Amino acid sequence: MTLYLPIAEMSINVWVLISMGAAVGFLSGLFGVGGGFIMTPLLIFIGIPPAVAVGTGSAQIVASSMSGAVAQYRRGNVDIKMGLVLIAGGLVGTVIGVDVVRILRRLGQFDLVVALGYVTFLGIVGILMLIESSTTLAKVQAGGKGRGRRAHAHSWLDGLPFKMRFRHSKLYTSAVPPAVIGTFVGFLAAIFGIGGGFIIVPALIYILRMPTNIVVGTALFQIVFVTAAATVLQSATNQTVDLALALVLVIGGVFGAQFGAIAGQRLRGEQLRFWLAALVLLVGLRVGYDLVVKPAELYSITPLVRGLE
């Protein structure tokens, strides 16, 4: 059963798309990530134009993240106040990112920037998370304690202004770091079609020292609103959101997220971080491979966008 995608201008098997959506939705509920860092490369791998993959990926992330966020909220794993601070920064970053996408497409450099960006960010984040989680797992298996912060320990965050009390996370810290994190993630969401969970999750854990289970739910809460804004702006500004493609992906993603949230309850925080790190690295390596391997078609003919304006 094939489906014609009007914006992507191609036909594709429906069951392939549903399976992709379910798999990414499962990862969303399991790790507290939007899944865009996997969905966008997967769409590109099966032939979807990068600009359409980025714009449509955001639409799919909204549904899968919402399903996962609801499941996490029912378990008491969402810090609403922290989420609102992240959203405020995320909306600013999204507006900036959408405009950058428009400029890069006009220059004809968008595809290259997306590929290089994925390799860079996924590689750095994945390696850092893998090192930390492996060290923590080794300590736990040796009978020691996992990652933790000593009571009354101080850090550079204590000197920042605009302090707020986040009761659900048991934190009293500046609102500046989460706002900056949210802005950066919103920017990446617009350019790379990601929810940014693979950045939010380690950032909140290692910088703000939030409990891992609260981080997962709060990250999903933030991702829902930021990716929704990115989807609307991409559609209005760049016309790169294929609703037919997004709908099929959403059908699979909603169901997958529920099973992922259940599975996540059976893993410890350090185990979740280890497997997320491994997944991030694998996707980064796959994107990097496509950058260096000889393409099947050395030449292609595409319309010159600037010449038509």
d(CA 284, CA 115): 9
244 lies in a domain? yes
Q: What is the pLDDT of residue 151?
A: 43
Q: What is the count of structural domains for the chain?
A: 1
Q: What is the pLDDT of residue 301?
A: 53
35 lies in a domain? yes
Q: At what angle do helices 50-74 and 80-107 cross, to 10 degrees?
A: 180
Q: What is the pLDDT of residue 52?
A: 86
292 lies in a domain? yes
Q: What is the pLDDT of residue 145?
A: 54
9 lies in a domain? yes
Name every residue whose Cβ is closer than 8 Å to that of residue 69 and which is 6 or more positions away in sequence. Answer: 78, 217, 220, 221, 223, 224
Q: What is the pLDDT of residue 4?
A: 81
Spans in the chain with pLDDT lower than 70:
28-35, 64, 67, 143-159, 198, 261, 264-273, 290-291, 293-309
From residue 72, alpha-carbon distances to 86, 105, 286 in Å are: 17, 37, 30
The DSSP bridge pattern shows strands 163-166 and 10-13 to be unpaired
309 lies in a domain? no
Secondary structure letter of residue 295 according to DSSP = P
Domain span at 260? 2-141+162-296
Angle (nearest 5°) at CA 154 between 150 and 160: 145
CA dihedral (138, 141, 146, 150) in degrees, to 10, reads -100
The residue behind tokens 């304690």 is 145
Angle (nearest 5°) at CA 250 between 205 and 16: 110
Name every residue whose Cβ is closer than 8 Å to that of residue 204 and which is 6 or more positions away in sequence. Answer: 82, 178, 181, 210, 215, 218, 219
Q: Which segments of the chain does DSSP mark as H helices, in order?
A: 14-31, 36-45, 50-74, 80-107, 110-141, 176-192, 197-206, 212-238, 243-264, 269-292, 305-308
Q: What is the pLDDT of residue 262?
A: 74
